[in-house]
Amino acid sequence: MLFTSLKFVLFIVVLFVLYYTVAKHDQWPLLLVASLVFYYMQDYRFLLFIVITAVTAYILAIATENFAARRKAYLKEHKSEMDDTKKKKYKNTTKRVQALYLAIALLINLGILATTKYTNFIIENINALRSEPLSFANLIVPMGISFYTFQTVSYSIDVSRGTVKAQRNFWKFLLFVSFFPQLVQGPISRYGDLSQTLYEEHKFNYKEVSLGYIRILWGYFKKLVIADRLVVALKVLVSDSEMYQGGFVFIVMMLYAAQLYCDFTGGIDITIGIAQILGIKMAENFNLPYFSKNIKDYWNRWHITMGSWFTDYIFYPLSVSPTILKLSKWSRQHLGNAIGKRIPVYVACFCVWLTTGIWHGAAWHFVVWGLMNFAVIMISQELEPLYAKFHAKFGLKEKAGYKVFEIVRTFFLMSSLKLFDCYRDAGLTFKMFATMFYKPGFGSLGSSELLNLGLTSSDYIVAGIAIVIVFLVSLYKALKGRELREFLFEKYPLFLVACTVLVIVIAVFGAYGVGFDASQFIYNQF
């Protein structure tokens, strides 16, 4: 059941009516049923995977919490009999038991993720080295497995750290893992955040429902009017790398930047909008990423929940681990203070980007994409003092023109890295990127070439106007610091006009029908 299907829209309408009709204490059980039905309708076998993940994380979190409580009680009871050394010894022993519970939870859940997603990738690489190839495993990859596994892993770690309390009601926990809007493409919710509103009783709130409704429409507008239209031309452009080189690669870069943005942010708008009309608050996943001033800034604004997950559960634990700190100390003594200081950051950052690449997909081009991000971030980090001197000397930092330059530069940089996702082959991506410089051929790019890509001139006009609208709405947020829909809600007749116009535009200009295929979201494959 695609988000873009009529079946899904009917599913939401029925759920919405039932949600505000049933007794308030039945709202979260209704959401659980709806989530399991939604998942069952994708493929009934998916349910088995998500239930195993939920059951193991649920049991081990309670075991961890119970063990921590017993440890605390024991220490309190034997306080007078234990000196500091004994206390420390007891603490260390019990910490190991707690770590074992966590390790089992992570091993099971990350093991399921790794087996389903990466087995065939491993076989493919082994086959490259063997004369007799191994046969590929016939595995199913449950929808959203990367997203719900990461949510569950963060829950297990947070309970182990004592930063959240374990959920004692299994059905409530299952709802956290399987809440249907986030199964398509995230965001990766944290239990501490989502649980605050997920199980609450919700009264019908006119403002929240209205804002959620317009956000859903805005998401469909970006997905159906722009993303699903542009994908037609993109498929043609990347299908023939011999024919479409030079200037065409630049067009791929621009079209994909627009398509991916509208596809991903559109899907997240639909997800968060659905949660909002049900009174549930989800974490934001974007904050004007194409207005970023540098690559670090970009990754604080694009797919925010994934970035913060990697920071909190890989980057920090790794960079402050005793091994890395020892390595840092050793490097300071033997290689100098400057290098020693950088070691923890560099090692942890490398691991983060390697795993980020692998998380995006079982393919070498994703690994290269991740490592390219690492390389650019490290180079920028090293050049920072130089930039600071440059800015100070020429007083550029606060100049509007220079800020625009930084934004445009970052946009092109990030769009070039996205080419790995288009061509899906690292070597080919480098080759195609290079053709932009040694045989650009921009002069020969005419309307006839563009009209051979499966789109009509009307399609280009519709997509062009829609992109300008998206840009202007983003610019409003950048300048005013709040969403345009909030302003429209205050000027109520305008709000109704905007909703009506959006419905008409989606119905008339949405990319479905002959030549188009309302498709799944790009991030659904991750």
Partner 1 sequence: MEDLIEILKDLHADVDYDTCETLIDDKILDSFDIVSIVSEVDDKFDVAIPAKELIPENFNSAKALWALIERLMED
Task: Name the residues that contact partner 1, by CB under 8 A.
Answer: 161-163, 296, 311-312, 315-317, 319-320, 322, 325, 328-329, 332, 341, 344-345, 348-349, 381
Q: How far is the CB of 161 from partner 1 (least distance, A)?
A: 4
| DSSP 8-state code for residue 525 | G
Q: Give the Cα separation of 356 and 348 in Å (integer).
A: 12
Instruction: Note whether 462 and 509 are within 8 A (CB).
Output: yes
Q: How far is the CB of 295 from partner 1 (least distance, A)?
A: 12
170: its two tokens: 């299994």
Q: Decide whether 211 or 377 has the Cβ nearer to partner 1.
A: 377
The values of phi and psi at residue 250, to 5°, are -65, -40
Q: Decide whether 14 or 383 has the Cβ nearer to partner 1.
A: 383
Q: Give the Cα separation of 108 and 114 in Å (integer).
A: 10
Q: How far is the CB of 407 from partner 1 (least distance, A)?
A: 17
Q: How far is the CB of 518 from partner 1 (least distance, A)?
A: 39
Q: Give the Cα separation of 385 and 344 in Å (integer).
A: 19
Q: How far is the CB of 429 from partner 1 (least distance, A)?
A: 28
Q: How far is the CB of 354 from partner 1 (least distance, A)?
A: 17
Q: Give the Cα separation of 278 and 224 in Å (integer).
A: 24
Q: How far is the CB of 328 from partner 1 (least distance, A)?
A: 5
Q: Which residues contact 20 (CB under 8 A, 6 or more apart)?
A: 202, 204
CA distances from 66 to 72, 97, 98, 193 (A): 10, 12, 10, 23
64: its two tokens: 């961890």
Q: Decide whether 36 or 378 has the Cβ nearer to partner 1.
A: 378
Q: Give the Cα separation of 324 and 21 in Å (integer).
A: 56
| DSSP H helices in 43-144 | 46-77, 84-129
Q: How far is the CB of 377 from partner 1 (least distance, A)?
A: 9
User: Which of 58, 90, 61, 89 lies closest to 74 in space, CA to CA?
Assistant: 90
CA distances from 383 to 29, 244, 290 (A): 53, 35, 22
Q: Give the Cα separation of 307 and 420 in Å (integer).
A: 19
Q: Decide whether 351 or 451 has the Cβ nearer to partner 1.
A: 351
Residue 416 parent element (H or E): helix 400-417
Q: Decide whether 200 or 312 has the Cβ nearer to partner 1.
A: 312
Q: Decide whether 91 or 491 has the Cβ nearer to partner 1.
A: 91
111: its two tokens: 């093991």
User: Which of 224, 278, 245, 260 lies closest to 442 in space, CA to CA?
Assistant: 245
Q: Decide whether 317 or 515 has the Cβ nearer to partner 1.
A: 317
Q: Decide whether 332 or 431 has the Cβ nearer to partner 1.
A: 332
Q: How far is the CB of 397 from partner 1 (least distance, A)?
A: 12
Q: How far is the CB of 332 from partner 1 (least distance, A)?
A: 7
Q: Decide whether 156 or 245 has the Cβ nearer to partner 1.
A: 156
Q: Decide whether 265 or 319 has the Cβ nearer to partner 1.
A: 319
Other C-beta atoms within 10 Å of 229: how many?
Answer: 27
